[in-house]
Amino acid sequence: MNIIIVGCGKVGQTLAEQLNEEGNNITVIDIDPESLKNVSTSADVLGILGNGATHSVQKEAGIENADLLIAVTDSDELNLLCYMVAKKSSNCQAIARVRNPDYSIDASFLKNELGLAMLINPEYSAAAEIARVLRFPAAIKIDTFAKGRVELVKFKLPEKCSLVGLSVKEISTVLKCDVLICTVERGDEAYIANGDFVFEERDVVSLIAPHKKANDFFQKINYKLQSAKNVIVAGGGKISQYLCEILDRYSISVKIIERDRKLCEYLSAQFPYATIINGDANDRELLLEEGVNRADAFAALTDQDEENILLALFVKNTMSGKLITKVSKTEFDEIVKPLGLDTIITPKSVTSDVIIRYVRSMKGSMGSNVETLYNIIRGKIEAAEFMIRASSEITDTPLMELKFKENVLIASILRNDQVIIPRGHDKILTGDRVIVVSKHLALRDITDILK
């Protein structure tokens, strides 16, 4: 596919690298020559210096022959203008990143009236992810498939957990739970777990199941299921604002600590049901005074990664509740991982994952399309949901008779409203939604999992 990316920030660079690796022809546009140089160094892409919202620059980038334009500059208005200019020059699809909460109310209108293929709001997506975890604090991360009917839950085994010492195949017989264990992270290693895999303390496990069956499993291993009732948030930015809106619907009380007085006044007016504190979250005495040691959850969501990490390290030793840390810079991954900071939120990764899913869906065959895509373990294992639109060599045959590539797992089948945790005798039928967990990245079609 011919893809033009306008904006070479972290998201633009990540997209350029990943989409280039998947065999697309990438052209990037930016007004900053240094940013273009960085992208060109990290990926084999064509760079165009200039304003991506102008017809002349888009024409130089090849807009007439483009299949997709992705606008991810720092300006919402510029991103929308990029699309409107492209629409006059080409029949290509377009994706725009729009982050301002003022535009969120009009998201459907903007998408439908302008004809956008997708409107991306990474801050809202990050807030929604935080809210899912706060409703189920046992999880490090929760992803949903099949329009919310199936959950992929990542959690860490505590010491003396009843799973320790059991093998994967013993879960159904010993615990009598109908869940599927997908992956296990142990140190720096990542595994797609087979039936003989034995759990150890501090393993990070991902399982897939309908919500009710997942709850049943966690009850049987004595994991905390009760939703958080209150959360303290450091930072009053866009993610915190979206989070306020979402948590109010779930009757979870929110207290925001923000140092900017004018922003505090705005937050107080916008969210009268939240408690807004004008102060510095780095002040340990203030945090203790506001009850961080008694809170069910704490979220470090300031604009500074370093500040969020230091706040999280302090709070980790102060409270027993859920800890959530926003880290925007992906280069901090290796630094943060050994710190044991529970749930890490990376808005830029949310954005790139959604866009890459859409690109794969465009490239998919008529037989099956990628509907949903998540990195379970970034760069190592993905979970993809396929819609089976036509019969093929993978349909109407018992799974036990199919020859799969190594490190592939059929995790779930959704047929009508029924969720099937698949066994060897089950078949994939036309019209099913199928969730595949695999170490083979960049799957485009369901048949890619066969030898």
CB atoms within 10 A of CB 403: 8
Q: Which CATH architecture has domain 356-449?
A: 2-Layer Sandwich (3.30)
Q: Give pLDDT tens digits for 102-142.
A: 777 777 787 777 777 788 888 988 999 999 999 888 888 88
Least confident of 105-119, 343-357, 429-443: 105-119
Closest CA to 447 of 365, 378, 377: 365
- Pick the more confident residue, 443 or 192: 192
Confidence of residue 81 (pLDDT cuts 50, 70, 90): very high
| β-strand partners of 293 | none
In the chain, pLDDT over 70 holds for what percent of residues? 97
- In the chain, CATH 3.30.70.1450 covers 139-220, 356-449
Confidence of residue 367 (pLDDT cuts 50, 70, 90): low
Residue 325 in this model has a pLDDT that exceeds 70? yes
CATH C-level class of 139-220: alpha beta
Q: According to CATH, what is the number of the domain 2-120?
A: 3.40.50.720
pLDDT at 88: 86
Q: Which CATH architecture has domain 230-345?
A: 3-Layer(aba) Sandwich (3.40)
Least confident of 3-7, 253-257, 371-375, 379-383: 371-375
99 in Cβ contact with 75 (< 8 Å):
no
Which residue intervals of 118-230 are DSSP H helices?
A: 122-135, 170, 211-220
Q: Give pLDDT tens digits for 27-71.
A: 999 999 999 988 888 888 999 999 999 999 999 999 999 999 999
- In the chain, CATH 3.40.50.720 covers 2-120, 230-345
> How much is the mean pLDDT over the chain?
88
Collapse the DSSP code of 142 into the 3-class scheme (helix H, G, I; strand E, B; otherwise coil) and give the result: strand
**Residue 79, Cα to own-chain centre: how many angstroms?**
22
Q: Give pLDDT tens digits for 233-245.
A: 999 999 999 999 9
DSSP 64-124: GG-SEEEE--S-HHHHHHHHHHHHHH---EEEEE---HHHHTTHHHHHHHHT-SEEE-HHH
What is the rounded CA–CA span in Å between residue 165 and residue 167?
A: 7
For the segment 89-114, the average pLDDT, to the nearest whole number, is: 80
